[in-house]
Amino acid sequence: MEDAKDFVEMQGYVVEKLNVEDSSEVEELFRLVWPFAEEYPVEWRRRRCLSSREIAREISEGYYYFGIRLKGKLVAVYKAKIEGNVCFGEHLSIHPDYRRRGLAKAMYEHILRFAKEKGCVSVRVNILPTQIASVKIVKKFGFRKIREYEQIPGMLVHLYEKILDCDE
């Protein structure tokens, strides 16, 4: 999965590794999603609207970005960071016109496969407790809440972890 051209079909969608050349498309998607994610504090929403320069810097610093395109248009993105033997998934963003189509499910299937291929023993994600659909999907994939904390002042999140089984 190291090759930028690598992709995998999940849930009928092709999940591909994104690279620096895709930074502008990722920025555009973030700007369609995060300013309107009103369940998050304004400060957090602003932080999530990364510029293409910031995205390119993160990729060069070791973040992995993955996306799904439909008819050539980037409609879903997540990023992952590996620290030791743990893969952290974050910044899942789905174009508002393409929600409720199984894209998040495909992305979660992908991150579990990606983490296993990278030799990780677990995957962790932060979820707002009020995001019922997100809580439901991580539980469906076998994630368990391991703690709650304020990610920024006033924003309580639940940290979920999935221990990867070598036999899966």
SS3 category, 115 = helix
What is the domain extent for residue 22? Answer: 7-163
pLDDT tens-digit map of 103-115: 999 999 999 999 9
Domain count along the chain: 1
Asked if the structure places residue 2 within a domain, the reply is: no
Question: What is the spatial distance between Cα 148 and Cα 160, in angstroms, rounded to a whole number?
Answer: 9
Asked if the structure places residue 1 within a domain, the reply is: no
Asked if the structure places residue 37 within a domain, the reply is: yes
pTM of the complete model: 0.89
The separation between CA 32 and the C-alpha centre of its own chain, rounded to angstroms, equals 16
| Residues of the chain falling short of pLDDT 50 | 1-6, 168
Asked if the structure places residue 20 within a domain, the reply is: yes
Q: What is the pLDDT of residue 8?
A: 58
Would you report the helix, strand and coil content of the chain in percent, each value rounded to 5?
Answer: 35, 35, 30
Question: What is the spatial distance between Cα 122 and Cα 131, in angstroms, rounded to a whole number?
Answer: 22
Q: What is the pLDDT of residue 39?
A: 83
Q: What is the pLDDT of residue 167?
A: 53
Asked if the structure places residue 25 within a domain, the reply is: yes
Asked if the structure places residue 30 within a domain, the reply is: yes
Q: What is the pLDDT of residue 2?
A: 42
CATH number of the domain at 31, please.
Answer: 3.40.630.30
Q: Which strand (E) or helix (H) includes residue 14?
A: strand 13-18
Q: What is the pLDDT of residue 88?
A: 97
Question: What is the spatial distance between Cα 51 and Cα 78, in angstroms, rounded to a whole number?
Answer: 15
Asked if the structure places residue 155 within a domain, the reply is: yes
Q: Which strand (E) or helix (H) includes residue 94?
A: strand 86-94
Asked if the structure places residue 78 within a domain, the reply is: yes
